[in-house]
Every structure is written in structure tokens, then in C-alpha cells.
Chains A and B, each alone.
Chain A
Amino acid sequence: MIKKQERMYTSGEIHSILHPWVSEWFRRTFDDFTEAQRYAIMDIHRGRNVLVSSPTGSGKTLTAFLSIISELTRLADDGELEDSVYCIYISPLKALDNDIERNLEEPLSAIRDIAAGEGRDLEIRKAVRTGDTTSYERSRMLKKPPHILITTPETLSILLVAPKFREKLSTVRYVIVDEIHSLADNKRGVHLSLSLERLQHLVGDFTRIGLSATVHPLERVARFLVGYSYGSERECLIVDVSYLKELDIDLICPVDDIVAADPEEIGNALYDILHDLIETHRTTLIFTNTRSGTESVVYNLKSRFPESYSDSNIMAHHSSLSREIRLETEEKLKRGELKAVVSSTSLELGIDIGYIDLVVLLSSPKSVSRALQRIGRSGHQLHQKSKGRIVVVDRDDLVECSLILKNALEGKIDSIRVPENCLDVLAQHIYGMAIENPWDIDHALEVIRNSYCYRNLRREDYLSVLSYLAGEYVELEERYVYAKIWVDYDKNQFGRRGKLARMLYSTNIGTIPDRSAAVVKCGGKVVGRIEEDFMEKLRKGDTFVLGGRIYRFNYARGMTVNVTPASGPPTIPSWFSEQLPLSFDLALDIQRFRDIMDGKFQYGRSRNEIMEFIMSYLHVDERAASSIYEYFREQYLYAGIPSIRRMLVEYYTGFGGRKFIVFHSLFGRRVNDAISRAVAYVIARRYRRDVMISVSDNGFYLSSEGKMGGLEAFRELEPENLRNVLKKALDRTETLASRFRHCAGRALMILRRYRGEEKSVGRQQVRGKILLKFVSELDDKFPILEEARREVMEDYMDIENAIRVLEWIRDGDMEIKQINTRIPSPFAFNLVAQGYLDVLKYEDRIEFIRRMHQAIIDEIKR
């Protein structure tokens, strides 16, 4: 049973359960317990599962650890503390692990001193164990295991199969999962959930403690944390003190009329504002959404205000930078040497970055929870406010950010979604289980279903994964190369195969796909790196931007690209795939706002009335409200305002007679991706011609040479057939090929380390495609292929909500209104101008070749 913790305990009550030495240390060091500690510590002490959602500065570490330290002290005092592990702390980042170890040093050594004062020798050990741990440290850990083990999800799964070390886990009584919100919504969390069930099966029951930032619904995260016990949900208490941190958030519109202003004007105003904000604060953390955006902001600040900014006081931080540079930035931040740091998403997680007094979000972070997490990085002490400023860059950004502001202030957060039934992660874990010992097939399934992520795992999918692992897709005589487990269907058992199984497993586990980068050389010198996906697309003569310069692609050899400097605009755009998608919940809120505005215009409300409404509803100032008013008014007059009750579909003819159909489906890119691809597939099948698609958060458009029957195709899609249509639409796409490669890596069909050698990470794409070709010809329902599809449809896109949208249309809750326009309406403007373009051809390979051939011949003849 998941329930909210209502009871707050008194200091006296808490001190009564703590060991006297611990109690004394606490009294000496702190005034009193924090609210989070009052809610959580007693029940942790009683061995109950707890999920704590609290802001930074609320004493998180001690909330989780205090009763555990007390318990360990008691055991040590009674002479019962063995040389084994009692508590495992797991976080997604090694840096965070290191921070925690440091944070535990003080209490543990202080308590040791107190004990020494009474003539007692107390030794409570803690240690960090990750991929970075040296072999010397590892063997030491085996001889003298830490009582508190600090680690990562990946390392935990390796320890489960380590024959000697796993015995030291038999005394584990507590498991803490930190930053659980950042794990619960992706495969890393899925992976961890299975590790926890395997751990529980190995050592028996233990207390689960989850530490989370502000997410919604917390019940879901709690269920993810605790899972099931053979069908019945385990219990968990939720401690929610996230409201505690006071927020000082505001939205800044750089110009008076953002609708009319041109980009250069906005750009100039924007940097003036940024400069001003940075100057008036000690250390500012600026978030953009993309790596290129990050580089651009740092560059611009340095070149526009050279007297104020240089390499010594402003730095960029993102995942493409080397580890050394990132560490340097983090260290400088901690020492307070930087005036500003610009980050994409890399500094969102709670690693210690020192004192930040202002967070600036440059354009929309695309979800309320992300906005709050980012802003929450400021004001480290609990009594300090979290100060954040959202600076908008265009009109859609303005509307979006206003809704984010409103929801953030009103505490309305978007929901988190936990991936389910991931067959690739399952394959990896079943292999690990087999390495531990042989299993009964049915019993293993029960243990797996104890994980929240696999509670609904179908038996046939489970058996399909077993069959894959047993190499049944290969002829018997070759099976020994590919099979990882043996399966005995008569005895109903499976176990591992091969002497090197444990090494293979340990060196290949994980869920994060290897992203290889190709080296770009110009005149023999390395000028940068590009992602393999991008490199594969390049053809001789293409030009692209790298590090602020333009180059022409000559050829590729292995993972090296040869280029020469070029001029003029690039022919290949740099990557859009980094754009964060707008959350579905937020998209609906924007639509509801549109609906209200539509009503106001329809009922002829005055400008003043509407302005007042906007300012109070969205909590924005007059300047922002004015821009919003103008934007909506233009749309209302020109074409009518699309909203949650009415989807606007615009038809217009572009140059050259090209037909465009714009769907104002503001549902976020993930839903739109699913719907638009399915629609384009239906059209291409029916009319046998190319359909160009552009998808964005605010809608999508289709474009074709001739008539295309876009609306009929849209209507052909029904909630019941969407999945099927989408599955076919995905079959020949790069997206599926790329995801398949990642899944194959997780399912150990592509190995990073094999026979003791690290494989070159290069040319993954090509190799992935060879494997995909083999698999799709072999069996359309091959589990890894099915998983790749599921991942694209459910995790990358959002088919569940796409189905909901289709249901609304079918049930008449959302009507469709068609209009013809001569130029795109104001709301369509950004849709048409931005968004990524994806020309999808759905024919079979041979049809594609034939048509390309014809197109080329026609072109040459001209």
C-alpha cells in the first residue's frame, strides 16, 4: 500500500531511537531535525520503505542515513557488526557518489571520536565502488568490505554476479536510491529495478529508501521503487516536503513586441538582459537546451562584452566536452571562481556545484518538472529562495514559458512515465541471473515480475527472450558461439553457458548506448568530432558547420572524415535531434489557455479585460501580456484560434504549386511524431507518392507535389489501428535502425568487449544495419526487433497519448475545422519555419531505387 506520511515526529521521539553517541553528535552539530527528517527517520528506523521528495538543502543525506548510521553504531557497540555490507547507496552519477562519501566522512569520524572518548574502538566503513575503482581497492574491499557501499546501478549488477563479493551482501538491510526521478523514466531505471529484485531474492527483504526531486505522481515513483512481492504491491510511505523551497521565478520578455521584432533585435536585447542579470548576481547558472546553444551563448557573451567575460570567469558545460573540461568547470564553480556557467542539460542533476544565486532558463525547458529542477539548483541552503528567470526568445516560446511559469508557481507538475516490458534489459538480466545459478523458468519469471517495470510482462515475451538467449535462432552446430544460456524445457530450467560468461557479462552490461564520434580532419589536422549518425548521412560535396566554421565533406574512411574549408551556407543542417520534446501535459495546458482566449475574443472582451486576465492567469508582466495578446488576436482574426476543443487544419499552396496541410495539433513532438508518420504512411500507400513531413511540438505539416487527401488519411487512423500502421511506417527508417542497434547492444547481440578485447566503437551504424537485416529477414517478431519498435513508439514517441488524441477526435471531444489560407496563419508560421524536416519514403527498397533512378535521369536531362 502506497500512502502519504502524515505524521511528523518530535525531536524527542527521534532522539529516543538513536544510539546515544549518534544522538550526541547530532545535538552538537545541528539545531534540530529538518522537516524531511522528522517525517522520514522514524519509519526508516522501523524498516519501512520510504520515498522522500525534498528540495536541495533539506538535509537529504542525513534523512536517509541517520537511522542507518545509528543502527550500525548499535551493532558495533554490541560487538555484532560483521565484515560485510549493510547498506547500499545508489546514485546515477559517480560524482554524486563521491560527494556522498565526502558528506558521510564527518558524521562517521565524529561519532568514532565520541566512542573513542568512552574508550571504545568504532570502525564503520564506507567506500565507493564504480567502474573507476582500482583493482587494489577492489581486493581490499573484498578483505574488508565497507558497511556502507556507495555505487551506481551498473556496478550493482556486476556485484550480483561476483562470486566472492556477493556473499558480503548477505547482510544488506538498507538500499538507498538517490535522484530516483532521473532513473525512473528511462532504461537505466528499468535495469536498476531488476537488479533490486535480484538482490532481494539473494539476500532477503531490505528497506528501500528513495530520494527524489519534485515529480508527479509520486505514487508512481514509489511503486517503481518498491515493486511487488509475488503479486501484491509492497508498501511504501511517501514523504513530500518539496513545497518547502520558496520560489522566486519570473518571466522576462526581451522586447516590447516579440511578434513584430526581428531575430537580431531580440538577440541583442537578450544578451543585454543576460549580461545585466549576471552582473547583479554572484554566480549565475544558465541553461539552454542544446549543446550548440550552450557554445553559442558563451561565445556571444565573450564577444559582446569582452571587458566582462573571458575564459577565466565563464565556461560552458555539456556532454560533448571532455571529462577534464567538465571537471574543471565543476571545480571552479565550487571554488566560486566563475561568474557564469552555461549548460545544456548536464548540470541538472544534484552534483555539488557550490553557490548559485540565480538560474536563468534561456527559452523553454519544455516541462514544468525540468524547469523546477533547474531552478532548484540555486540557493543551496534551505532558507534561501530558489531564484529563476525564464528569458523567452520568440512568441511561441513566450506562450509556452508563461504556462510553465503558471504551473510552476501553482505546483502543477507534468507526469513521469516509467518504461515497461523492455525486452533488451530483460535479456541482459536473465543472462546475469543464469550466471548466478540455474533457475526454474517459472520461478525466474515470478522474480522478474516483482519489478514494477515488468509486473505485466507477458509469458510469451519472456519465453521469446529465453529462446533468443539460448541461441535457438541459429543452427544447432553453430549455436555454441551465440547461445548465452542453455534451456531445458523438460526440466523447466535454464542456466549459463560458456566459461567466460561472467566476464562477458561484466564487461558488457549497461543501458547507455555507445555513441561513437568520427574524427574530422582538415589538411591532416583534427578540427573536431561529429556523431556517427551525422557522418553516415554525408555525401561528397555536402557542406556543414563544425566549431563555428564551414567545411566540405570529401570522403570518410573508417571513423575519420576528410574535409576542406568551404564558404557559403551549409547544405546540411546541424542536428535537431537534441531538441527536448514539449511535455504532453504542458501542451494540453497551452491548449486550454488557447480555448479560454478564444472564448474571450468570441465574446468581444476588450483589450484591457483580456490583458488583465492574461497577467493574472499567467503571472506575467504587461510587456509579456501585450505580446501574447497581439499574437492571439492576429490568429483569431486571420484563421481562428485552434484549441483543445478544435483542431485547426490549414490548407495552403506554396511556391511551385506544392500543397501544404498544416495540422495545429499542439500535443508535443512525441505525440506528433507518431501521428504524422502514421498519416504520411497512409497517404504514401494510397497515392503512391512522396510526402514530406515536418513535425514540431505545436503541430505538424504534410507537403506533397499534388493532391494528397491529408484529412482523409488522418481520419483513416483510428485508436485501434494506430499501433499497426505506425509499426509498418517505422520499418525502413533510420530511427528504428538506430534504436535497434542500441537494443542489440543491451541484449548483448552486439558486444563492446569480446574475448578480452575492447571492440572499436566505430561503424556501429553499418554493423547494426547488417544485424538488423539478418534479424528482420529471420523473424519479424524477434524480441530485440520488437523491443526496438516498442522503444521508438513508447519511449521516443508517445503512442499512448497519440491514441488518446485519436479517441478524442473519434468521440467528438475534439472537432476538426478545415480552412484554406493563402499564407500560413500566425500560429502556423513557426510550425512551417521551424520543425525538422523528414522526407519519408515508404516504398520497398526496390521501388525507392526505381523512383530515385527516374528522378535522377529526369534531372540530368534538364
Chain B
Amino acid sequence: MKTYRLMDDLEICDLSLIIEDSMVIADLHLGYEQYLNTQGVMVPGFQFRRIIERIDTIRDVSGASGIIINGDLKHEFGRVSWQENREIIRMMQYLEENFRDITIIRGNHDALIPYMSQVSHLSVTETLRISGFLLAHGHVVPEDLDAETIIIGHEHPCVGLRSGERVEKIKCFLLGPFRDMKLLVMPSFNFVTEGSDILHEDILSPFLRESELTEFLVYGVEDFEIFEFRTVGDLLKFQQKTGYPGD
């Protein structure tokens, strides 16, 4: 298990980024299982423990002493479900016990976080500058974009590797050009789904909508292993070439 140096001052460690002595994660969507229940899928909460364990492991491997959550800590928009309530409180307790600094960058699902933050003593912000990087959730493009590299979440990117009938989706980081800057998109830090397959789904983030997706480099992540997949365009060409055998 190790970290992967993406560029100066920036490392990938499994599903997180390490900047200075902080680890950055995004899109936990605590409470997602309960949301699925309301959709008729009776799956009980099972990812919380894994999230905590994974944060622990990353902390051990990277030595990070601060934690930054780049949006969508919780799932439900307009209310706080009982699962969320319980899990967020536990999460806050865990973070306070294990990290010196805790920052939450507000995501589009986090409308109620400011109210909850008063309960849990941490800082909540719209964007964050650290080491020359600009961190934002990614659901809106902030006005002040003065930075070399922008880091967003929100998209939950993954790539679906298809071979015949079988498709395996793998979470990934995306790195590519955005206007005259660099844009880095983080995978979702949850274990319920892989996320949104960018080879298949429509793009969510206004950042990516403005960019040329095929030029983005893909870094697949699976259990601390990193896979350099070259660009999205290369992946699409590969799928078309090998196609779906059997005509």
C-alpha cells in the first residue's frame, strides 16, 4: 500500500488525495442506504464501518493529521434521516478524535450541514485554497477561479471496463484541462456504488461540461492499487475496437 505522486505536492492515496499533511475525500453520501430503502430497496446500512476503516488505513499510510471533506458528506437534500443523523454524529466524533483539523467544503447535498456544524464544532466553507490548489465541490463554478489546479468532487467518476457480457466498474480520478487551468475530479468515498460511469452516463458537473472529456487522463483506483488508463478517448477507442464479439 502506498501513495502515488500525481504532481508536485499532490498524491493519490486510494480514494483520497494527500495535500501537505491533510487527506482529502469527497462524496461520502452517508445515509444513502436509507435513501435506497425509501426507493424500495431494503438494504440495511453497511458502509459506515467500512468508511471509517478506510479513513483509518489511509491515515496510517499517509500520516495525515488533517482531513478535508470536499462535499456531500450526507445524502438527503432537504432533511436529516435517522441513519444520517446517527452516522454523522458518529463520524464527527471519530474525526475529532483522530484529526487535528477538520474542514467540510459544502456540497449540493449538504444544505443542512451548517446547522449541524454548530453542534459538532468544525469549519464549513464554500471553497478552500491549500498549497496552490483550489478545492470546490463542483456543482457550481465559483467566480474566483485563480489557481493552477482545481480539485472537485460531485461527479463520482468511474469507468466501466467491458469485455463481452461482463462489465466491471472501477472508481477513478480524472485529470485534464479546464479553460487555462488543470481540473482534477475525485472519485466518491463510499462503498455502496462505484459511481457514475463516464463512458456511459451523462456528465453532471458544470466544470466537466465545459471541458473536452476525451482528453482527460484516467487513474483507476482499487484497494490502494492505481491503474493508469491513459485518456478517456483512448479507453473509448479500445472499447470500440474490441467491441462486443459475436456478430
Contacts of A856 in B (CB 8 A): 229-230, 234-235, 238
Contact B41 A750 (CB under 8 A): yes
- Flag whether A853 is at the interface (Cβ < 8 A): yes
Contacts of A481 in B (CB 8 A): 37, 42, 44
B-side interface mostly: mixed
- Flag whether B36 is at the interface (Cβ < 8 A): yes
A755-B238 Cα distance, complex, nearest whole Å: 45
Stretch in contact with the other chain, from B16-24, B70-78, B198-206: B198-206
A853-B172 Cα distance, complex, nearest whole Å: 13
A2-B208 Cα distance, complex, nearest whole Å: 70
Contact A839 B161 (CB under 8 A): no
B38, B44, B192, B225: the one contacting A846 at CB < 8 Å is: B225
How close is B199's CB to chain A, nearest CB, in angstroms? 5
Stretch in contact with the other chain, from B93-101, B126-134, B163-171: B163-171
Stretch in contact with the other chain, from B106-114, B140-148, B239-247: B239-247
A537-B229 Cα distance, complex, nearest whole Å: 20
A856-B220 Cα distance, complex, nearest whole Å: 13
Contact A750 B170 (CB under 8 A): no
Contacts of A732 in B (CB 8 A): 166
A838-B170 Cα distance, complex, nearest whole Å: 22
Contacts of B242 in A (CB 8 A): 855, 859
Given contacts A569-B247, A573-B247, A859-B238, contact A852 B163 (CB under 8 A): yes
- Flag whether B222 is at the interface (Cβ < 8 A): yes
User: What residue in chain B is nearest A481 (Cβ atoms)?
Assistant: B37
- Flag whether A1 is at the interface (Cβ < 8 A): no
Contact A556 B202 (CB under 8 A): yes
- Flag whether A121 is at the interface (Cβ < 8 A): no
A537-B243 Cα distance, complex, nearest whole Å: 11
A846-B203 Cα distance, complex, nearest whole Å: 27
- Flag whether B177 is at the interface (Cβ < 8 A): no
Contact B202 A562 (CB under 8 A): yes
- Flag whether A749 is at the interface (Cβ < 8 A): yes
Contacts of B37 in A (CB 8 A): 481, 754
Contacts of B39 in A (CB 8 A): 754, 759-760, 767
A85-B244 Cα distance, complex, nearest whole Å: 57
User: What residue in chain B is nearest A562 (Cβ atoms)?
Assistant: B202
Given contacts A482-B42, A754-B38, contact A852 B245 (CB under 8 A): no
- Flag whether A299 is at the interface (Cβ < 8 A): no
Contact A571 B240 (CB under 8 A): yes
A760-B193 Cα distance, complex, nearest whole Å: 19
A473, A478, A556, A860: the one contacting B238 at CB < 8 Å is: A860
Contacts of B220 in A (CB 8 A): 849, 853
Which of chain B's residues 6-34 have a Cβ closer than 8 Å to chain A?
A: none
- Flag whether A499 is at the interface (Cβ < 8 A): no
Chain A proximity mask over B139-165: 1 for CB below 8 Å, otherwise 0: 000000000000000000000111111
Contacts of B89 in A (CB 8 A): none
How close is B36's CB to chain A, nearest CB, in angstroms? 7
Stretch in contact with the other chain, from A74-82, A251-259, A380-388, A538-546: A538-546
**Listed A/B pairs (7) with beta-carbon separation below 8 Å:** A556-B202, A557-B202, A562-B202, A759-B39, A770-B43, A774-B43, A849-B161
List 11 other contacts, CB 8 Å, given A536-B200, A767-B39.
Answer: A473-B44, A482-B42, A536-B167, A537-B167, A539-B239, A540-B236, A571-B240, A573-B244, A770-B193, A841-B166, A859-B241
Give A residues with C-beta under 8 Å from B: 473-475, 478, 481-482, 536-542, 555-557, 562, 569-573, 690, 692, 694, 732-734, 748-755, 759-760, 766-767, 770-771, 774, 778, 836-841, 845-846, 848-850, 852-853, 855-857, 859-860
